Structure 1
C-alpha cells in the first residue's frame, strides 16, 4: 500500500452546509437513459500517469488503466477542461491527508471542476471501485462533480469552489457501474461519498453506489464543521 504523503492543499473541504447524507447527492442533475454525443468528448491524446499516485491537479486528458491500483493523494482536481477516463475494472484508492491542523481531521478525493469531465464506464462484470483508506480523524472524502447547470437558490455548501451556471444541458461526463466505499465524517452536512453540484442533464450516472464503512467512535472527530 502506498503511504499517504503529508501536505496541505489549499482546498478547505469542511464547508459542508445544509446537505443531507444521501448515498449520491445531486443538484441540478438528472440521468439520461441514452448517452448523448455531448456527454463525452473526442479525445485525441491521453496521458497515462507514470506514477501510480496522483496529486494536486490533472490538467490534461488522462487515462487510468485497470492494470494496477491508483492512489489519490489528498484532494486532486481535474481542471483545464481536461477529461479523466477510468477503465472498467480499475481500482482507485483515496489517501486522505491533513487539510486542517486545528481539528486534526483528514480528507481527500477527486474534484471534477466546471468544464472538465470524468468518463468512468465500468460494466456489471468489471465495475470501477473507489475506496477511501482508513485514517484517524475522518473528514468528508469522496468524489465531487462541479458542473455549469443552474442550482437552486441558496444552495451554497462550498465557499471555496465554483459550480453552477446557466447551462441546464451541461455534461460533466459519464459514470457507470462505480462503487465508492468511504468512512463517514462526523457532524452535519455531507459526510462523504459522491456529491454532484450543478451537473447538467447530459451528465450520465448509472449503477453508481456508495457504501459507508463502519467507523469506531474513537476515530470520529466531533469538532464543529466550518
Structure 2
C-alpha cells in the first residue's frame, strides 16, 4: 500500500510539472521610466536662441521609449523624438518676456509607462529694457538707448517732470480694467516728450517687435503687427488745470475724474481755473495698438486730454489702430496741430465738455465709429473750438465710418476747410441745425446731385460737392507709420 501511495504522488507531481511547462510564461514586470531634470539651469539672456538643457533618463533595457517636450515662455526646437542613451538634450530659444520659464519632458516606454520632469529656467531682463512698475515721483529721463515697459498705470505725479528723448520706445504690457497699462500725466505733472521727424517717440504694445535698431534705421512701422490690430494695451492720458464744462447731481463742478481711472486714485482728477496751464510738450509721437477695455465696454483713447491748458504744446501726433477714439478732448484750452489718426475702432476726433482750442491740419483715415464726435457742454460753462484744414477718408475697404460729422443740439464748434473722401452710402453730416455749429469750406467728394444724400437736412451754404481744394497738408506726415507705408498716397 505504501509503495502504491508513493508512485501515485510521484505521478501527480510529474503531471503538474509537465502541465506547467505547457502553460504561457509568467508575466514579467518591466521597470517604469525615470526622468530627472537639472536643478540648477543657468540664467539665460533675454532674446537668446542657442540654448539647451539636459535631462537624465532611465528606461528598462528590454524596452524602447519616445519623448515629448513642451515649454512655457520658451520655444522648444526638438519637441519629440526617440530615447537613445541615458540623457536627452532639449534645444530651445528664450521666450518673449523676461522672468520665469520652464521645459517639461515626458518619456513614454513601449509598455505605455510614463514619467516626466520639469526644468525651471530664468530669462534675464535685457540690458536695454527697463520695466516701470511704480509712479514717476521724481524728475526722470527716459533715454533712446533703452525700451521702457509699462507694467501698469504709471503716473507722472504733481510737481514732477518726465522727459522722453527722441527715438525712445515705450511698450505697454497687456491688461484690462483696473490693470490696464497707460502713461498718465497728472495735474501739475509735466511730460517733455519732444521727438523729431527722424526720431519719433513710439508708444506701443509689448507684442510689437519694433526695436531700437529699427527706429535708428528709420523703420518706424511694426515689423510683426498689422496697422489695424488694437486693444493690446492702454494709451496716453494728459490731465491739466484748465476749465472744463462738467456737472453732477449737485450742479456745476470745476474738476472731475477722467474716465477709466478709479476714483480712489486722485491723480485722475482734471479741470480747474488756469486756462494757460502747462503740462509740457508732446511732439512727433506715434501711439499704436492701444485702447484696452477698462470696464463696462469703455476703452482708453489713443491720446486723452483732460483739462489741458494752452501752455501745453502738442503737435505732430500719430494714433494708429486704437480700439477707441484717436484723440479725445475733455474741456481745456490746448491747441493741437498736425495730427494723423489711422484705423481706429471708434471716433477719429472726439470733443467733450467745451474744449476751447483749435485743431489745425490733420488727417483721419478709416475710423469705424464717427469721423467726428463733437459733443456740447455738460455744465453751464459754454465755450467752443475750431477744427480746420483736415482730410477725412471715410471708407477704406471694409472699414466704413458710421457718419461724417456727428454733433449734438448744443455743440459749439466752427468747422473750416475740411475735405471728405472715400464716401459710402449712408454716411452723412447728421445735424446741420445746431445753433453753435458753423460750416465753412466743407467739401464732400461726391457729385452735386448726390450731395443732399449725405446731409441730414438742408445742405448748408458752407457744405459743397468738391474734389479737395480744401484739405490738409499731407507733406508733414511723411515721418509717420501711415506715411511710410503708403497709406496716405494721393492725399
| Match for residue 178 of structure 1 among 265, 269, 285 | 285
Contact kept, 8 Å, 2:129 with 2:149, in 1: the verdict is no
> Partners of 2:180 and 2:99 in 1: how far apart?
11
SS of corresponding position for 1:58: coil
CA contact (8 A) 2:231 2:322 kept: no
Contact 1:4 1:73 (8 Å CA) reproduced: no
The residue aligned with 1:92 is 170
Structure 1 counterpart of 2:235, from 136, 142, 147: 142
Q: CA deviation at 1:95?
A: 1.0
- Alignment gaps of 5+ in structure 2: 1-95, 101-127, 208-229, 248-255, 324-491
State which of 184, 188, 193 in structure 2 corresponds to 1:120: 193
Corresponding position of 2:203: 130
Larger proportion of helix: 2
Please give the alpha-carbon distance, in whole angstroms, between the structure 2 residues aligned to 1:184 and 1:190.
5
Aligned residue for 2:302? 193
Cα 1:4–1:79, aligned 2, differ >3 Å: closer, same or farther?
farther
* Distance apart, 1:140 and its partner CA: 6.8
CA contact (8 A) 2:155 2:186 kept: yes
Q: Tell me which protein shows more strand as a share of its residues.
A: 2
Structure 1 unaligned regions, length at least 5: 6-49, 101-105, 215-226
State the partner residue of 1:65.
143
Do the aligned residues in 1 keep the contact of 2:235 with 2:291 (CA within 8 Å)? no
Deviates more, 1:199-208 or 1:188-197: 188-197
Shift of 1:68: 1.6
Change (3 A) 1:108 1:150: same
User: 1:55 deviation in Å?
Assistant: 1.3
Report the Cα offset of residue 173 of structure 1: 0.4
Structure label with greater radius of gyration? 2
Q: How many residues align?
A: 164
Higher relative contact order (CA 8 A, sep 6+): 1
**Distance of 2:246 and 2:99 partners within structure 1:** 38
* Matches of 1:128 and 1:139, distance apart in 2: 18
The answer to whether 1:151 aligns with 2:252 is no
- Distance verdict in 2 for CA 1:99–1:185, change over 3 Å: closer
